[in-house]
Amino acid sequence: MKKFQFLSLIILFSSAIKAQNSDEKKILLTSNANTFGVSTINLLDPYLSPLTYSGFGISYEHENRRFLSTEKTNISTQGKMNMEASYNLNPQSTSSMMFLGVNYSWGMHYHFRPAKGLQLLAGGLWDADFGFKEVPRNINNPVSLDLATNLNLSGVAMFDVRLRKKTFRLQLELQTPILGYMFVPLNGASYYEMFELGNMTNTFHVSSLHNKRGVKSSFTIDVPSNRSVWCFGLNFMNVRYSANDLVFVRNELSLVVGTTFDTANFAGRKNKVPKNFISTNE
């Protein structure tokens, strides 16, 4: 009898624990990465010059990724904001080109988990791209603008390696534009004619594999330390596009360093801050 009572208590206790666990609300975490980079860059913009300009740049990138919901842990969203500036010279160093670029992308990936510690992500990203190039020496064509929006194919491979009680994450990311819309200046026309006189005919083009090809890739390794996770990596970009008898090329190789961290987002009536969290809003 005593045996039976003891067994019942254990069952009750364990079911209570189980009930308690199943009542615990799952919280989605957002994985963030902030990285800074230095890069070497080659730019060909024949509207500004037939010569390829080369130089060094700096960049900042913020990336975040989270699953769609607590139930769907095989589809994630990804947002990325990249800003960079570079100073470039023509091959003879007789003229300089300043480049400022901003790119924002957002998209989704499906997660495959073919082996323990390995995730393969496949999906698509939409991006908006803005670039400003200035060759101050030029006359009436000192500036060239990059304005484009693209749909990109995207793939990511993440592999967690356990080493000396630490988990290192290796990540390879590839992205390529497949369809978009872009502004390309008229060959031989000044921005005065395009913007002041309003001759924008043939300045906006649909882009696809026939006139825009490229790859953006990055290889990073996340290294955990005591209270943070450091991220080191190498980014490579090669993009070329063509319209109005002009061929534009951008090659870039960057060394990046930053940190990665997870955050939980609470906002609104339905997604209040749990009581065991302390917020400055309270």
Closest to another protein by CB, 40 or 95: 95
Q: Is 71 in the site for another protein (CB under 8 A)?
A: no
CB of 87 to another protein, least distance (A): 16
Dist. CA 207–CA 179, nearest whole Å: 6
Dist. CA 239–CA 250, nearest whole Å: 5
Q: Is 115 in the site for another protein (CB under 8 A)?
A: no
**Partners of 273 in the β-ladder:** none
Binding range to another protein, per CB under 8 A, among 63-71, 77-85, 87-95, 225-233: 87-95
Structure-token pair, residue 141: 């064509």
CB of 242 to another protein, least distance (A): 4
CB of 185 to another protein, least distance (A): 11
C-beta neighbour count of 146 within 10 angstroms: 22
CB 128 within 8 A of CB 104: yes
CB of 47 to another protein, least distance (A): 9
Q: Is 94 in the site for another protein (CB under 8 A)?
A: yes
Using alpha carbons, select from 72, 84, 63 the residue that is nearest to residue 111: 72
Using alpha carbons, select from 152, 171, 153 the residue that is nearest to residue 161: 171
Binding range to another protein, per CB under 8 A, among 62-70, 72-80, 109-117, 192-200: 192-200
Number of residues forming the site for another protein (CB under 8 A): 38
Q: Is 96 in the site for another protein (CB under 8 A)?
A: no
Residue with tokens 């190789």: 253
Q: Count the alpha carbons within 13 Å of 218 in the hemisphere toward its beta carbon.
A: 22
Q: Is 98 in the site for another protein (CB under 8 A)?
A: no
Answer for which of 41, 43, 51, 231 binds another protein (CB under 8 A) is: 51
Answer for which of 43, 156, 158, 189 binds another protein (CB under 8 A) is: 189
Closest to another protein by CB, 60 or 236: 236
CB of 20 to another protein, least distance (A): 54
**Residue list 219-278, contact with another protein (CB under 8 A):** 240-242, 247, 249
Cα angle: 131, vertex 129, 236; to 5 degrees: 85
CB 100 within 8 A of CB 108: no
Surface-to-core class of residue 152, CB atoms within 10 Å of its CB (0-12 exposed, 13-18 middle, 19+ buried): buried
Binding range to another protein, per CB under 8 A, among 31-39, 63-71, 134-142, 254-262: 134-142
CB 159 within 8 A of CB 117: yes
| φ/ψ of residue 16, rounded to 5 | -65, -40
Interface residue list for another protein (CB under 8 A): 44, 46, 49-52, 90-95, 137-141, 186-190, 192-193, 196-199, 201, 209-211, 213, 240-242, 247, 249
